[in-house]
């Protein structure tokens, strides 16, 4: 009894401690808002650029297309100034998140678990902590991969493909198909703050392994899955700065971090990539200067030409993007990528009613060079290369509530299933459901 009281007391104190930690950490965003501004004119676009340069705003999501929107985070101390600037230019904007700090608190709330049909199943003690009801630290994600390898050793194995600057492992789980005709590389979490990406990639892994019997299409491929491509950055968003994007390279102490999705060696250092270490899109000192991008380069080079599909999951915006991103340049087979992308979007729409836009990333969003996807397509020659921006379309942005993890994971899984079926030449039965 005493032990029980102690344990309950300890758990409550612990929870209180971590919620206090969250409060202090998120307090830096007190009074900040997220605004959606219409890019109606060149002068509005220039204003956004200069406000970003002065650190008066942070860009969350941008589009170079006139008439589309840019989402910005405005800290409390610049809010009235920034709003005034927009009013001066007659810029149309609306408030997406009125209180960023409380949206952060809401995001980490635990979503109610769906009632399981088999009640005993929930009671069974498990040797891992991962759920899809909340966002987890990397130890829980890796703990789940370890559990799968020990429980399903005939199909799962883990390779550590590299080590980060702070000494964390970059892990890939291999899920082998009994009739594998090709390999499929799946990447999550290259951008630290896009929490729904590692969560959705873990969801895909669960489908491919634990629910394999209802996903027999998976026998056609060997999957190599890296749920957290930027471990240092991801942990930093949990312990320090929720909206951190880059890795934690600290050669410039006052402005740490390299944007790993600008560090790959295909058309490195061109449009949409910065040479300034303080910028969110800092490309690094050279192409492949970072251990995280080197690890993926070396691993993909090693597994070689069997890889026919590469999907990088990001958030947010609900886009299915294909190369190239360094400029408005299409690959010779871009019609195939558009066609399959449209199929993915259609299947997602059928399943969850959510709309995903499909297109070339430089045309649909903006030019950005040094991306992992461009290197996968242009450097390695992987035909079906996509970057998928998961939920949502802007309501919560990076602060997507945990209650949407399962539904988002399902959409990500539909993408993987649709691509596998296409490459393996599996015709979908008319009635089959995702
Ligand atoms: O800018 C990015 O790296 C991606 N968008 S995000 O908001 N998640 O940061 C899009 C990358 C598209 N691919 C390339 N431009 N190569
Ligand atoms: Zn991203």
Binding site membership of 374 for ligand 1 (Cβ less than 6 Å): yes
Mean predicted lDDT score pLDDT of the chain: 91
Q: pLDDT of 9-25, one tens digit each?
A: 333 344 444 455 666 67
Gap from CA of 211 to ligand 2 centroid (Å): 28
Helix (H) or strand (E) holding 4: helix 2-26
91's tokens: 């810029």
Binding site membership of 62 for ligand 1 (Cβ less than 6 Å): no
Residues 139 and 68 both lie in one domain: no
Domain count, the chain: 2
Q: Span 379-383, mean pLDDT?
A: 97
Binding site membership of 373 for ligand 1 (Cβ less than 6 Å): yes
Could you tell me which residues come within 8 angstroms of residue 280 by beta carbon, excluding any fewer than 6 positions away?
A: 58, 59, 245, 246, 259, 274
Whether residue 405 lies inside any domain: the answer is yes
Gap from CA of 270 to ligand 1 centroid (Å): 14
Q: What percent of the chain has pLDDT over 70?
A: 90
Binding site membership of 361 for ligand 1 (Cβ less than 6 Å): yes
Whether residue 410 lies inside any domain: the answer is yes
Gap from CA of 169 to ligand 1 centroid (Å): 24
Which of 70, 260, 261 gets mutated to test ligand 1 (max ligand atoms within 8 A of its CB)? 261
Binding site membership of 415 for ligand 1 (Cβ less than 6 Å): no
Residues 320 and 398 both lie in one domain: yes
Residues 57 and 89 both lie in one domain: yes
- Report pLDDT for 17: 41
Q: What are the C-alpha distances in Å from 84 to residues 73, 75, 76, 373?
A: 15, 14, 14, 39
CATH number at residue 200: 3.40.630.10
Residues 153 and 274 both lie in one domain: yes
CATH number at residue 42: 3.30.70.340
Residues 190 and 146 both lie in one domain: yes
Atom of ligand 1 at shortest range from CA of 389: 8
Q: What are the C-alpha distances in Å from 313 to residues 103, 112, 149, 391?
A: 22, 25, 23, 11
Gap from CA of 7 to ligand 2 centroid (Å): 40
Q: pLDDT of 122-168, one tens digit each?
A: 555 789 999 999 999 999 999 999 999 999 999 999 999 999 999 99
Query: Over 90: is that where the pLDDT of 244 sits?
Result: yes
Name residue 97's beta-bridge partners: 34
Among the three residues 73, 107, 141, which one is the final residue of a domain in this structure?
A: 107
Whether residue 176 lies inside any domain: the answer is yes
Q: pLDDT of 76-116, one tens digit each?
A: 999 999 999 999 999 999 999 999 998 998 888 787 876 65
User: Can you tell me which residue has the tokens 């399962």?
Assistant: 406
- What secondary structure letter does DSSP report for 127? S
Whether residue 98 lies inside any domain: the answer is yes
Whether residue 258 lies inside any domain: the answer is yes
Name the pTM for this structure: 0.92
Query: Over 60: is that where the pLDDT of 228 sits?
Result: yes
- Report pLDDT for 115: 61
Residues 324 and 392 both lie in one domain: yes
Whether residue 299 lies inside any domain: the answer is yes
Q: Which residues are catalytic?
A: 389
Gap from CA of 29 to ligand 1 centroid (Å): 24
Whether residue 190 lies inside any domain: the answer is yes
Residues 288 and 328 both lie in one domain: yes
Check: CB of residue 179 under 8 Å from CB of residue 219. yes
Torsion sign (Cα): 65, 263, 246, 236:
positive
Q: Span 287-314, mean pLDDT?
A: 97
- Report pLDDT for 113: 78
Atom of ligand 1 at shortest range from CA of 373: 16
Residues 52 and 91 both lie in one domain: yes
Say which range, 23-32, 44-53, 232-241, has the weakest mean pLDDT. 23-32
Range of the domain at 54: 28-107
Q: pLDDT of 259-291, one tens digit each?
A: 999 999 999 999 999 999 999 999 999 999 999
Cβ-defined contacts of 109-115 (< 8 Å, 24+): 109/134, 109/401, 109/402, 110/134, 110/402, 111/401, 111/402, 111/403, 111/405, 112/403, 114/406
Residues 83 and 186 both lie in one domain: no
Q: CA end-to-end span of the chain, whole Å? A: 48
Residues 285 and 409 both lie in one domain: yes
Residues 144 and 49 both lie in one domain: no
- Report pLDDT for 2: 35
Return the ligand number nearest the Cα of 230: 2
Among the three residues 72, 107, 142, which one is the final residue of a domain in this structure?
A: 107
Residues 264 and 296 both lie in one domain: yes
Binding site membership of 191 for ligand 1 (Cβ less than 6 Å): yes
Q: Span 381-403, mean pLDDT?
A: 97
Distance CA 346, CA 155 (A): 31
Whether residue 119 lies inside any domain: the answer is no
């Amino acid at each position: 009894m005493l032990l029980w009281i102690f344990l309950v007391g300890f758990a409550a104190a612990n929870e209180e401690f971590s919620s206090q930690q969250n409060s202090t950490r998120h307090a830096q965003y007190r009074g900040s808002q997220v605004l959606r501004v219409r890019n109606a004119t060149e002068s509005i676009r220039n204003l956004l650029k200069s406000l970003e340069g002065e650190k008066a705003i942070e860009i969350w999501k941008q589009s170079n297309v006139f008439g589309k929107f840019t989402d910005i985070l405005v800290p409390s101390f610049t809010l009235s100034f920034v709003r005034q600037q927009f009013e001066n230019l007659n810029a149309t904007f609306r408030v997406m998140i009125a209180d960023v700090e409380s949206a952060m608190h809401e995001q980490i709330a635990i979503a109610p678990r769906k009632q399981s049909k088999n009640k005993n199943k929930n009671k069974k003690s498990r040797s891992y902590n991962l759920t899809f009801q909340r966002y987890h630290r990397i130890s829980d994600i890796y703990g789940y991969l370890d559990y799968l390898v020990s429980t399903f050793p005939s199909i799962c194995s883990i390779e550590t493909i590299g080590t980060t600057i702070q000494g964390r492992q970059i892990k890939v789980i291999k899920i082998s198909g009994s009739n594998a005709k090709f390999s499929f590389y799946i990447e999550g979490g290259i951008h630290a703050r896009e929490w729904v990406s590692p969560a959705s990639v873990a969801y895909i892994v669960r489908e491919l392994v634990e629910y394999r019997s209802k996903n027999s299409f998976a026998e056609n491929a060997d999957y190599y899955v890296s749920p957290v491509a930027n471990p240092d950055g991801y942990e930093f968003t949990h312990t320090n700065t929720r909206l951190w994007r880059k890795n934690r390279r600290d050669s410039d102490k006052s402005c740490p971090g390299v944007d790993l999705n600008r560090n790959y060696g295909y058309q490195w250092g061109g449009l949409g990539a910065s040479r300034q270490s303080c910028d969110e899109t800092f490309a690094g000192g050279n192409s492949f200067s970072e251990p995280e991008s080197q690890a993926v380069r070396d691993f993909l080079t090693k597994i070689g030409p069997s890889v026919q599909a590469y999907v990088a999951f990001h958030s947010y915006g609900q886009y299915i993007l294909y190369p190239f991103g360094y400029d408005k340049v299409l690959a010779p087979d871009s019609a195939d990528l558009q066609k399959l992308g449209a199929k993915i979007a259609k299947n997602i729409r059928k399943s969850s009613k959510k709309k995903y836009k499909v297109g070339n990333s430089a045309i649909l969003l903006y030019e950005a060079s040094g991306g992992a996807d461009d290197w996968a397509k242009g450097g390695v020659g992987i035909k079906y290369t996509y970057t998928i921006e998961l939920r949502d379309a802007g309501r919560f942005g990076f602060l997507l509530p945990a209650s949407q993890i399962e539904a988002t994971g399902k959409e990500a899984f539909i993408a993987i299933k649709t691509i596998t079926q296409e490459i393996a030449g599996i015709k979908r039965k008319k009635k089959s459901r995702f």
